[in-house]
Amino acid sequence: MESEFIAQTALDQMVGTDQGQLLKALIPYLPPREQQLFSLYAKAKEFSNAVNLFGSQAQPMRMQAVSASQPVDILNDLRKYCFGNTRRTLDQITNMMAMVEMIKVMNSTVPEDSCEEERQ
């Protein structure tokens, strides 16, 4: 049996179903009127599942496997769910954050007296 990974957010994994994914994949092949009806049905079903999910759980949703305390980790996780300009923007932010960290490291390793020695 072939196993393929479909990128879904944690919320989509909790409120979506395989049948819902199949329905959404089928929508472009339907006539326009049916596209509208089935789109609304699929989203209404997900909404209903979300209401049930949060109505039955007292605890908020959290990433269990990954400690997302670092902003770079969060950005890298979000990157999986976007494309195009949004992905490029996230990449730029991540690169900027990496540069800031490098500058911090470089500044912390340079002795404070080195500026005085250069002036003399």
3-state secondary structure of 26: helix
The reported pLDDT for the residue numbered 10 is 82
Query: What are the contacts of 40-43 at 24+ separation with CB within 8 A?
Result: none
Instruction: Read off the tokens for 75.
Output: 């950005």
The reported pLDDT for the residue numbered 27 is 95
The reported pLDDT for the residue numbered 93 is 94
Per-residue pLDDT of the chain (120 residues; tens, 9 = 90+): 455 666 788 888 888 988 999 999 999 999 999 999 999 999 999 999 999 988 876 566 665 555 556 888 888 888 888 889 999 999 999 999 999 999 999 998 766 655 655 655
Q: Write the DSSP string, 33-76.
A: HHHHHHHHHHHHHHHHHHHHHHHH-SSPP--SSS-TTSHHHHHH
The reported pLDDT for the residue numbered 111 is 65
The reported pLDDT for the residue numbered 79 is 87
What do you get for the CA distance between the two ends of the chain, in Å?
73
User: Which of these, 90, 84, 76, 80, lies nearest to 12 by C-alpha position?
Assistant: 80
Question: What are the C-alpha distances in Å from 76 to residues 68, 88, 111?
Answer: 10, 12, 34
- Phi/psi for 75 (5° steps) reads -60, -40
Distance CA 34, CA 26 (A): 11
